[in-house]
């Protein structure tokens, strides 16, 4: 049985490797987890002994097939817990990440499957992140772009907000920017700000925040809106 700390390392390696497409260095993992490099090295040795990572000196680590399956199980737990907390326990979507982090290590596969069934097997969590199914396969995703790359005058629907921290999520929640919300891009400044029109009025978002937001043309979201409507009815 893996400890919660081991699972955190595996999930972190998966996240970093997925974003970069490259093997994960000790220093990158240490920065991500806010621990020291010697602490990381010690844990990587344990994960290597369990066959969960492949480690090459000076080239970083990558998850083995077994390690990737563990990562996907943890991600399934986490994202279903976020959906459960939001939809059934009335948590705010911007506040569920830390709670799910604490709970993800302590739920069984049976409980996870029951949560999924109670929620109607949602394809995404409250932030728009895809949820692996019971076979640990991700649902098909439609093409998106980052809000920072959208054109002025374009009307888009927010599809996903890539999690960076509760501060960023709370900022967007206060600005009225969340998954399934439609926005009109008013202005894209050469440096620094992206201004959008929301139901609450215009909001100017720093470019680093706009880079976290994945959007699709509003017309391309009709099928998903119909799915959401059916689930609510």
Residues 9-62 have pLDDT tens digits of 999 999 999 989 999 999 999 999 999 999 999 999 999 999 999 999 889 999
Residue scoring higher pLDDT (191 or 207)? 207
The two three-digit tokens of residue 180, written as one number: 């399934």
Per the listing, tokens 């999924």 go with 116
Q: What's the confidence (pLDDT) of residue 18?
A: 92
Q: What's the confidence (pLDDT) of residue 227?
A: 46
Domains in the chain, CATH or no CATH each: 4-63 (1.10.10.10), 145-217 (2.30.30.90)
| Rounded CA separation 48/55 (Å) | 7
Residues 6 or more apart whose CB falls under 8 angstroms from that of 68 comprise 14
Q: What's the confidence (pLDDT) of residue 233?
A: 46
Q: What's the confidence (pLDDT) of residue 229?
A: 47
pLDDT (tens digit, 9 = 90+) per residue, 144-183? Answer: 999 999 999 999 999 999 876 778 888 898 889 999 999 9
Q: 67 and 53 in contact (C-beta within 8 Å)? A: yes
| Rounded CA separation 83/182 (Å) | 21
| Rounded CA separation 184/90 (Å) | 29
123: DSSP letter: S
Q: Cβ–Cβ contacts within 10 Å for residue 151, how many?
A: 9
Q: What's the confidence (pLDDT) of residue 164?
A: 64
Please tell me the pTM assigned to this model: 0.86
The yes-or-no verdict on residue 125 having pLDDT over 60 is: yes
Residues 6 or more apart whose CB falls under 8 angstroms from that of 227 comprise none
Per the listing, tokens 């596969």 go with 109
Q: 159 and 215 in contact (C-beta within 8 Å)? A: yes
Q: 52 and 10 in contact (C-beta within 8 Å)? A: yes
- Judge residue 3's burial from the number of C-beta atoms within 10 Å of its C-beta, 0-12 exposed, 13-18 middle, 19 or more buried: exposed
The backbone region for 176, taken as left when phi is positive above 0, alpha when psi lies in -120 to 50, beta otherwise, is left
Sheet containing strand 201-206, edge to edge, reads: 145-146, 213-217, 155-161, 182-188, 193-198, 201-206
């Amino acid at each position: 049985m893996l400890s919660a700390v081991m699972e955190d390392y595996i999930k972190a390696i998966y996240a970093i490797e997925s974003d970069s497409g490259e093997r994960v260095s000790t220093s990158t993992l240490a920065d991500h987890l806010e621990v020291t490099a010697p602490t990381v090295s010690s844990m990587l040795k344990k994960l290597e002994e369990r066959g969960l990572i492949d480690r090459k000196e000076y080239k970083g680590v990558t998850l083995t097939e077994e390690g990737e399956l563990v990562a996907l199980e943890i991600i399934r737990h986490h994202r279903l817990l976020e959906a459960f907390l939001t939809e059934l326990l009335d948590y705010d979507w911007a506040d569920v990440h830390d709670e799910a982090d604490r709970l993800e290590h302590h739920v069984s596969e049976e409980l996870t499957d029951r949560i999924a069934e109670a929620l109607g097997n949602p394809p995404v969590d409250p932030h728009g992140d895809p949820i692996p199914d019971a076979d640990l396969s991700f649902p098909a995703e439609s093409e998106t772009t980052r809000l920072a790359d959208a054109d002025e005058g374009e009307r888009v629907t927010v599809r996903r907000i890539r999690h960076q921290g509760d501060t960023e999520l709370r900022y967007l929640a206060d600005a009225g920017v969340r998954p399934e919300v439609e926005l009109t891009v008013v202005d894209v400044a050469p440096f620094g700000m992206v201004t959008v029109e929301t139901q609450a009025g215009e909001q100017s978002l720093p470019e680093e925040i706009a880079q976290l937001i994945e959007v699709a043309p509003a017309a391309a979201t009709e099928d998903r809106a119909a799915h959401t409507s059916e689930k609510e009815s």
